Structure 1
Amino acid sequence: MSLKFHWFLPTNGGDGRHVVGGGHGVGAGPAGRPASVSYLGQIARAAEDVGFEAALTPTGAWCDDAWLSTAMVSQVSERLKFLVAFRPGLTAPFLAAQMAGTFQNLTGGRLLLNVVTGGESHEQRMFGDFLDKDARYARCEEFLHVVRALWRGETVTFHGEHLQVEDATLDQLPDPVPEIYFGGSSPAAGTVAARHADVYLTWGEPPAAVREKIEWIRKLAADEGREVRFGIRMHTITRDTAEEAWAEADRLLAGIDPAAIEKVQAGLRRSESEGQRRMLELNQGSKDGLEIYPNVWAGVGLVRGGAGTALVGSHEQVADRIEEYADLGIDEFILSGYPHLENAYWFGEGVLPILAARGRWGHPAPPRPASQAVPFAARTGATA
């Protein structure tokens, strides 16, 4: 199977030449490039040109709304799909199913959905959601049960512990039905993923830890009579040489204020997310010892919640590491880099051709016919 690569739209405070922090209940740090439609459109067009399939757009109090942002950016791009992150407890299941159908039908099938249950009770309460973590997962499973039934064209009456609908029917079904991406490291997350996810997502950890997660979810899914694909979310710092890549990692690290590390780490330790706890263990809140595995760097997680690791190295080294994760069972890679516009090209023009030559990737867009015209060449028989 050819690997799939997705990029990221930085609606979480904007973009910049340094790490933009925030996430998981922590406010975004300063950024030099606001998340305007114009700039996000540049990123989207760069991503689709070099060969990314989709772009993840985050959700939460620290972000612009993912549905509205991607609906706007879809109109200034051509092929790129949008992996829209959303929290099921904040939208009624019928409305969410209808929104997904509208988006899918008006963009020509360019929607994927990243279901985020929400790991921060203090942030959830900002949205009026006062359930605890376990109840949020129970509600999420009810939500996905209803939404998937609606997308199958069924008339749904459901009375659950958290959600209720009666005689619900979608007049216009999404075509195709958007795939569900789902992550989480807790036992409750594993149960929901096994029953409902098309793609299980993990944040970047050393390969041994990723292998354990894949085996865990694969067994749970098999017990449900299902198969699940796997994806990983990481950042990238890839350059022509390893020395250039690590120099860029050092530059990013030098731009991180120790006071910001202390503040953000204190906020992230409040998180109820098991995945966030694992990210904090990788960086230990310190600028030292951040290469936790060859070419895997945990520096981003010092000031950014969520995905906190990056692939760092030459294009060949990064391609090697991607193949190592792929051999474990990872099919899809959701990547990003600061700034996102330039790094889409660094990865797309540096790493993807290597993976294509190795037979691991192919550009998702139809190839454009090569022009045979030679400027100013004289035609046979033509006179000056």
Structure 2
Amino acid sequence: MTALPPTALPPCEVSWFSALCDDDYEFLGVPDAGLASSFEHCRDIVLAAEAGGFDNVLLPSGYGLGIDTLAFAGGIAPMLKRLRLLTAIRCGEMWPPQLARQLITLDQMLGGRLTVNIISSDMPGETLASGPRYRRTVELMHLLRTLMNGQPVDHAGEFYTLKIDPPRIRTVSGRAPLFYFGGLSEDAREAAAQGADVYLMWPDKIEAVKAIVEDMRRRATARGRTLRFGYRAHVVVRETEAAARTAAERLLSRLDADAGAAIRAKSLDSASVGVRRQAELREAAAGDGYAEANLWTGIGRARSGAGAAIVGDPDQVLAKLNAYRALGIEAFILSGYPHQAECDLFARHVLPRLDHGALV
């Protein structure tokens, strides 16, 4: 693939992250009561993202951690003027018709600016094998899309049997919002090819990202569909590369190895293929934790999920994002620590130089 110059790249969606899942720190692995998930703290992150010019904000979901996603989305929606919300839902937690009605209501509250992050993780107290878990996810995506498109459902599947009219209310556009979905296993890739709109990846080397994009395009094409692509990563941007590296190292300066392992183990997806790949990336990195230029894996020592950060000066961070864009990435979901402070830094140093806007 020949890389396109930045001026030839299509606009990208740039999202930030609100730490609903007790994932905000000044020093990774060291709890800080002032950064613990609460409505007020997470609200302030979202409002900072809107003020900073971001297009969307991911509202994550976790049972044992933080605060409830849908309740928070309903509370913050009336405070926003243009920002989208990427609201995470865990498949199986709610009965599809009721979930569809809740999401439609949120879309109305947001003036049509709802997007949905489909999560296929185990539910609290449940362990379901990968195959059936992702088949349940595909069924749920089909049911939600049908109902939110205002169409009746007559479905007899492995997990749901439903014959029901759609709710009376409709989304602002009259159709379902975009479904964002990630997962690296064979089952996850097939589920994305069948039902997702935007396939999300966690950090990896450039050649690995390219291979995943090409594989997922083939899978979607074989099903008569198209996919768009997103990239979830952390970021540490400072005026100089040296300052950025120092800031990254400071994040880990008080981390106890056992505390980091305990944090990683808390996640319901801690044994997933994607999480294992993040561990492999970290273990194969150079002694300074960099898997390749400006991709630092140290952050994964204290969290599950996305385990690497783009670290550098504004030019380096911009160049890294544009390299991903040249591979086909159209949406970025970024975060940093502490989340509100790093949101402001990225908004000042990098965001104005990106051609960006919400995906439609």
After superposition, the CA RMSD in angstroms is 2.2
The 8 Å contact of residues 77 and 106 in structure 2, kept in 1 or not, is answered as no
The 8 Å contact of residues 14 and 32 in structure 1, kept in 2 or not, is answered as no
Letter in 1 for 2:96: P
Look up the match of 2:149.
152
Structure 2 length-normalised TM: 0.90
Change beyond 3 A, Cα 1:267–1:55: closer
| 2:86 equivalent among 83, 86, 94 | 83
Structure 1 Cα separation of the partners of residues 115 and 217 of structure 2: 21
Does 2:20 match 1:11? yes
Structure 1 Cα separation of the partners of residues 144 and 357 of structure 2: 32
Structure 2 Cα separation of the partners of residues 270 and 81 of structure 1: 26
Query: Radius of gyration: which is bigger?
Result: 1
Map 1:215-364; keep pairs closer than 5 Å: 215-264=214-263, 271-284=270-283, 288-355=287-354, 361-362=355-356
| 2:61 equivalent among 44, 59, 62 | 59
Structure 1 Cα separation of the partners of residues 89 and 309 of structure 2: 24
Does 2:137 match 1:140? yes
- Post-superposition Cα deviations, 1:142-195, rounded to whole Å, max 9, x if no partner, equal 111111111222211211111111223221121233110000001111111112
Structure 2 Cα separation of the partners of residues 268 and 8 of structure 1: 17
Look up the match of 1:371.
none
Paired residue secondary structure (1:324): helix
Structure 1 Cα separation of the partners of residues 320 and 33 of structure 2: 30
Deviation at 1:16, TM superposition (A): 2.8
Letter in 1 for 2:13: K
The 8 Å contact of residues 286 and 302 in structure 1, kept in 2 or not, is answered as no
Size of the alignment, in residue pairs?
346
Deviation at 1:288, TM superposition (A): 3.8
- Post-superposition Cα deviations, 1:96-146, rounded to whole Å, max 9, x if no partner, equal 11111111012211211000000xx5xx242xx453221111111111111
Map 1:172-183; keep pairs closer than 5 Å: 172-176=169-173, 177-183=176-182
Greater relative contact order structure (CA < 8 Å, 6+ sep): 2
Change beyond 3 A, Cα 1:34–1:269: closer
Structure 1 Cα separation of the partners of residues 202 and 356 of structure 2: 24
The 8 Å contact of residues 117 and 140 in structure 1, kept in 2 or not, is answered as yes
The 8 Å contact of residues 202 and 233 in structure 1, kept in 2 or not, is answered as yes
Structure 1 length-normalised TM: 0.85
Paired residue secondary structure (1:140): helix
Structure 2 Cα separation of the partners of residues 66 and 304 of structure 1: 19
Letter in 1 for 2:42: L
The 8 Å contact of residues 139 and 160 in structure 2, kept in 1 or not, is answered as yes
- Post-superposition Cα deviations, 1:242-293, rounded to whole Å, max 9, x if no partner, equal 1110010111121211232344456679833110010111223999441111
Letter in 2 for 1:98: R
Deviation at 1:44, TM superposition (A): 1.5
Letter in 2 for 1:102: T
Q: Structure 1 vs Structure 2: percent identity of aligned residues? A: 34
